[in-house]
Amino acid sequence: MSNAQRQVVLVRETGGVEALELVSEAVPEPGPGEAQVKHTAIGLNFIDTYFRTGLYKAPSLPFTPGAEGAGIVTALGAGVTGLEVGDRVAYAGASLGAYSDVRVVAADRLVPLPDDVSDDAAAAILLKGLTAEYLLRRTYRVRGGETILVHAGAGGVGSLLCQWGKHLGARVIATVGSEAKARLARQYGASEIILYRKESVPQRVRDLTDGAGVPVVYDSVGQDTFMDSLDCLSPRGMMVSFGQSSGKVPPLDIGVLSQKGSLFLTRPTLATYTRDRAELLESSQALFAAMRDGAVRHHIGQRYRLSEVRQAHRDLEARKTFGSSILIP
Ligand SMILES: NC(=O)c1ccc[n+]([C@@H]2O[C@H](COP(=O)([O-])OP(=O)(O)OC[C@H]3O[C@@H](n4cnc5c(N)ncnc54)[C@H](OP(=O)(O)O)[C@@H]3O)[C@@H](O)[C@H]2O)c1
């Protein structure tokens, strides 16, 4: 065991941003099947706030938040194959613990980084990009010529759904919370924008689709938008409820799905769509290819030092962020 120290964010008790505490502690050594990774950049995701507040339960207390990072392999545990010390890697949706300068992580969650993907880009895009990949290509298969609805179209995942959706040939209607975000969502490829705090989303969607509605809604906002989203769908449309930035969706009487036109409803997670390593690598390859041919571009709207993590959470929760945010250790 070395005496090396690391900087790590701990949550001892769930709560507000003050629950995030930066401390020094011994660098952990990798066990069997694990790798030690020295982070160069850490991805910030809305889900991190759910663990901090206790909305999602961390496996134990205290815990270190964060599910996404990029860096260099600095040590390997027993039995790890296919990785070398010095490899550039990134991970998304692994066990919590990314808010640190060095961590150990399950080696089979690590994705080798190609030379043309920078560490910052990987930390900014991997979790959100893998999410966009499975939502657009596997949860519902978006086809050219379709019109799709994306909520929070200027956000991290939303901005990627707009870009990739357009690249697949879809016409993207995006909802956003402000004029500034409207301009951004247009740049990301949305051809129609709805300011959902001011306008009726179902009404605007009906107007924009000659009354037909859309075959799929990607809804990450949850409580505030869920019922309206159902009213935007065409018969047999697919409601993809993949997040809850405004709060949890209340329990639902499934009869509503029949009344509104034999609708499908799914609540997917990245974990299930990258369950085995082959799926994880295939999804990553698809994302890197989409980045390479310009279909999706990462946009780092905010960079924070690891020591500024409280401000980063404050900004994310106050809807102040644009695109992705990263923490630099
Ligand atoms: N299921 C999955 O596999 C999966 C994977 C990744 C992320 N997610 C979910 O997707 C969502 C987006 O994640 P992200 O990291 O990309 O975050 P984000 O979209 O960049 O940030 C959240 C955005 O939601 C909008 N919003 C609407 N009502 C809000 C409210 N009451 N409070 C705060 N924000 C509100 C805001 O945009 P406006 O100002 O435009 O309204 C805000 O910027 C999260 O709910 C996350 O948990 C799910």
pLDDT (tens digit, 9 = 90+) per residue, 102-161?
999 999 999 999 999 999 999 999 999 999 999 999 999 999 999 999 999 999 999 999
- Atom index in ligand 1 nearest the CA of residue 175 equals 40
Residue among 183, 319, 321 to mutate when testing ligand 1 (max atoms within 8 A of CB): 319
Residue 323 has a pLDDT of 87
Q: Model's pTM, two decimal places?
A: 0.95
User: Quick one: fold of 144-267?
Assistant: Rossmann fold (3.40.50)
For 279, the enclosing helix (H) or strand (E) is helix 277-292
Confidence of residue 93 (pLDDT cuts 50, 70, 90): confident
1: pLDDT strictly greater than 60? no
Q: Is the CB of 155 under 6 A from ligand 1?
A: yes
Is 326's C-beta closer than 6 angstroms to any atom of ligand 1? no
Report the C-alpha gap between 304 and 20 in whole angstroms.
14
3-class DSSP state of 80:
coil
C-alpha distances (whole Å) from 187 to each of 98, 182, 184 are 31, 9, 5
CA distance 202 to 141: 22
Euclidean distance between CA atoms 317 and 96, whole angstroms: 19
| Model confidence pLDDT, tens digit, residues 253-272 | 999 999 999 999 999 999 99
Ligand 1: distance of its center to the CA of 245 in Å?
5
Question: Which fold, 5-125+273-328?
Answer: Quinone Oxidoreductase; Chain A, domain 1 (3.90.180)
pLDDT tens digits for range 169-189: 999 999 999 999 999 999 999
Of all protein residues, the one whose alpha carbon is nearest to atom 32 of ligand 1 is: 246
Give the DSSP letter of residue 40. Answer: E
Q: If you average pLDDT over every residue of the chain, what do you get? A: 97
Please report, to the nearest 10 degrees, the dihedral formed by the alpha carbons of residues 206, 210, 215, 221 taken in order: -20
Strands (E), 151-196: 171-176, 192-195
Confidence (pLDDT) at 181 = 95
What is the residue with the minimal CA distance to atom 25 of ligand 1? 152
What is the percentage of the chain residues whose pLDDT exceeds 90?
A: 97
298 vs 119, higher pLDDT = 119
Mutating to test ligand 1, I would choose from 217, 220, 246 the residue with most ligand atoms within 8 A of its C-beta, which is 220
Q: pLDDT digit string (tens) for 204-242?
A: 999 999 999 999 999 999 999 999 999 999 999 999 999
pLDDT mean over 312-323:
95
Residue 2 has pLDDT above 70, yes or no: no
The whole-number pLDDT of residue 217 equals 99
- Domain limits, the chain: 5-125+273-328, 144-267
